[in-house]
Amino acid sequence: MQIIQHWLSQAIHCPSPNFDERPDQSDISLIVIHCISLPAGQYNNNNIDLFFRNKLLTQADPSFQHIAKMKVSAHLLIRRNGNITQYVPFNMRAWHAGQSLYQGRSQCNDFSIGIEMEGTDDSPYQEDQYLSLAHVIKHLISHYPKLTTEQITGHST
C-alpha cells in the first residue's frame, strides 16, 4: 500500500465532486473516523458511492429522501470486507465533519482526513475492517508528518 499523489494505491478510486481546497494543504493533522450504511444496517451495495457522488436514487429507499440533496464526502470508505474506496485526494478538503470542533480548533474538514467505516452505531465492525483501518492509518501517519496516533478521533453527532 502506498500513497501516490495523495491517492491510496490499493483503493478503488471513485472521485466525488464534493470537495474543495484546504486553506493550508500542509496542515493535515487529524483523522476523523465515521460510520455509514445506506440504508442503515444494509451493506454490500453501491449507495454510499452514489451518495458521495450526488447520484443517490431517492426512490430506492424512503430514508434517502432527507439526505438526497446533501453534498458530502469522505476521503475513504472501508467496507465490511476490508476493501477501501477513495473519493477525495488527501490534500483536498472532503466534506465529512460539517460544523465541527476538535481540541479548540473549529472546521475540522480544513485539517482532517475523513474515514468512513461501513456499519452502524450499534453493530460491531468486522476484523477485516480493523485490519484495513490499521494499515491505512500507518501509511497516513508515515506520509503526512503532522498526523500522529494521538490525532485520531471518532465523529459524534
Q: Which helix (H) or strand (E) holds 137?
A: helix 127-143
Q: Which of 116, 118, 127, 150 is catalytic?
A: 116
Pairwise CA distance, residues 131 & 20, whole Å: 30
116 included as an active-site residue: yes
Q: Which helix (H) or strand (E) holds 7?
A: strand 7-8
Indicate the Cα dihedral angle 136, 84, 22, 69, nearest 10°: -150
- What is residue 88's DSSP assignment? S
Active site residues: 116
